[in-house]
Each structure stands twice: as C-alpha cells, then as structure tokens.
Amino acid sequence: MAHCNGARGSKMTAAELNTYTQSFASTSAAESSAHMADSWRVKGNAQFKEEQYGNALECYNQSIECHPTVSALANRAMVHLKLGMHEECIDDSSRALALDSHHVKSYLRRATARRRLGRWVEAVEDFEQAIRRETSNTEAIEGRRACIAEYVERTGAQFESVQVPITFEDMKVDETSLIRPIQVQQCTDSTTAATTADQQTRPVIDHQEVPKRTGPVGVTERAAMDMIMPAQKVPKNSIEFEKSWRSCKGDSVKQAWILEHVSKEAMPVLLKQCLSPKMLHQVLLTVLCRVLKSDWKQGIGILRSIPSTDRFQMNCMSLSKAQKREITTSWETAFQSEHAIDDAIQQQYRSVLLENL
C-alpha cells in the first residue's frame, strides 16, 4: 500500500484510505443488491411459468425492493395484469418506461390495462408508441385496431346506425402558417339516418378503398382518429413532413390524417426536399382513395398543388409502370362522370403520368 498512488510516488493518506474503503464497500453493496435483485427476478420468472402468480408477485416484489430494474417492473406489471390488478399494472409499466422509454412490452402491458379499464384513447396512444418503435409488432397493430373499434362501439353506439355529415368550411389561412384550420358542424340525428347497409360505417384501419362521395361521410374512423391523433404533430416544413409520413409507414389512415390537416396550398413546400417516386406514389394513392372521401375540396386542392413541386415531372418519369397503372386506375375510379375534375388539373397529370386518359 506504500505506493498505491504510484504516479505521484506518495503514500495514501488516512482520509484517502477511508474514502477508498467506503467507495469499495458501497460498490460491493450495490453489486450485491443487483445480484440479489436478479436472483429474485429469475425465481419470479420460474413461478410465472408455472402460473403461480401469487408466488411470482412476491419474488418480483423482493427483486424490486433490492434493486428496481426495467425487467422486474415489466414482469411484475404482467403479473398484475394476470391478476386483474390493472391500476398496479399501469403504475409498474410507467415506472419501467421512466427507466427505458423504448421498452415496447411496457407500452403493450399498460395499453392492455388501460383498455380493460375503458381508457381507450390512452390505450391507443400506448399502442401507437409501441408501433413507432416496432413497426411490424402484430400485437400492437391488432391491439390498436381492436381498441379503436371498441371505443366506437362502447362510446358511440349511434355511429353504427346513424351517419352524420361533416362540413369542412374553408377558412382564410395565415400565409405564414401551413396548418389548415377546420370547422366541423355535426347534424342532429333527426337530420340524417343510415338507410342502407352500405351507409353503415365501421373503422377501416389498413384497407384502402375507393371513395364514395354520395351521401354522408362516415364518422366512425374519422372521429376516432381525431381523438387519437392530437399527439401527431401537423408538419410545418419538408423535414417534419417526411418524418411524420415515414412514422406512419403502412398506415394509410394516419397518412390521410396528415394530408387532411395540412394546408393544401403548402404541399409544394412540404414536398420540396423529400419528394421521391415512392412518396409521390403513396401520396397520390392516399389522396385518391382516402382524402377525397373525407374532404373533397382538400383532396382536389392537393392534386392541384402537387405538380408545382420541384422535380415533380422527374419523379413521375421515375415511377414504375405498375405504379403508374395503379394511380391511373385509382384516378379513373375516383373521377367518374358524376364526379368530374376540371381539365386543367387532369392535363397536368396526363402529360407525365396517367396512361390512356
């Protein structure tokens, strides 16, 4: 010990020795607690596999008391879920997420507990967080879809038998803002009612379908998404648009929501730095198959403004024949004779994109 601080060539003082001893003891105690915590966690896992949930809960309690970890908290949350202790599950999941905000299992368990408590909007938000981190997570995708359907069924039974027309009134937009203000007017039940099976609407989450513009707009999906999407920021520039669009990859409903809420006049600015053949293909299909269905004026406005985007013609020429054919088919279906589009817009697309028009 004479030359513990050999670099200085001096002896360790009594104060330094005491500090070192305390640090070593503290480190050893921490390592011991962590070891004991992991040991209790492993025992809890074994009890859980045997479906001995009471014993598993006690083991996880001991583990967390020794040293709280994400795994132990998430596992105890699962036990709480099995025992129907939903509030406790939410608490443990939240504690786990405070330690690791990317822990998908904790989002899923908290979402399940919230859903069982009838807190559907919060549950969908958790499912959304899980999907953002694991875009192909089947449990999260199916859970989100089922939660939206359950929310509509439990809180808006009229939506199954009554459809309400929604009127979107164009308002003057501040030139510095790319967000399009919207006013929604909802008619009373006495003004309109579903008279055919075709008019009844259930949430459609992933399936794209050709829009029908006759009759009232179904509000089940739209109302549910408006409840869920406030956390989704409306993009104000090209970088934000690309980030938002990619975060909704594979979800045409959310992508349609983005297009419905941006200023149609701002599309050339939003697409300026991020337009690619793939994105152009996705945007046009979303407009033709979804946006025109929910807001005809917005959809037409977007179609009118997109050709003004830099590199529009180059991206059109880079589309594959299959992509062009798909857009052409959707275009022809969307703009049937009773829903004609003015020649100026059609001409903008005919020259570089649409086939056989």
In the three-class reduction of DSSP (H, G, I as helix; E, B as strand; rest coil), residue 54 is classed as helix
Exposure letters 266-280 (e unless 16+ CB within 10 A, then b):
bbbbbbeebbebebb
pTM given for the model: 0.41
- Cα separation of 239 and 148, whole Å? 29
What is the phi-psi region of residue 118: left when phi exceeds 0, alpha when psi lies from -120 to 50, beta otherwise?
A: left
Dihedral sign, Cα of residue 46, residue 49, residue 55, residue 60: positive
- Cα separation of 308 and 67, whole Å? 59
Helix, strand, coil: what percent of the chain each, to 5? 65, 5, 30
Q: Among 121, 85, 113, which Cα is nearest to 97's?
A: 113
Q: What angle do CA 205, 206, 210 make, to 5 degrees?
A: 100
| 3-state SS track over 102-121 | CCHHHHHHHHHHHHHCCCHH
Exposure letters 285-309 (e unless 16+ CB within 10 A, then b):
bbbbbbbbbbbeebbbbbbbbbbeb
Per-residue pLDDT of the chain (357 residues; tens, 9 = 90+): 444 444 444 455 666 656 655 554 555 555 677 888 888 999 999 999 999 999 999 999 999 998 899 999 999 999 999 999 999 999 999 999 999 999 999 999 999 999 999 888 899 899 999 998 888 898 999 999 888 888 888 776 343 333 333 333 333 333 333 334 333 334 444 333 333 333 343 333 333 333 333 333 344 455 555 555 545 578 888 888 888 888 887 788 888 888 988 888 889 888 888 888 888 989 999 998 888 888 888 888 999 899 988 888 888 888 888 888 888 888 888 887 545 667 777 777 876 666 544
Amino acid at 84: G
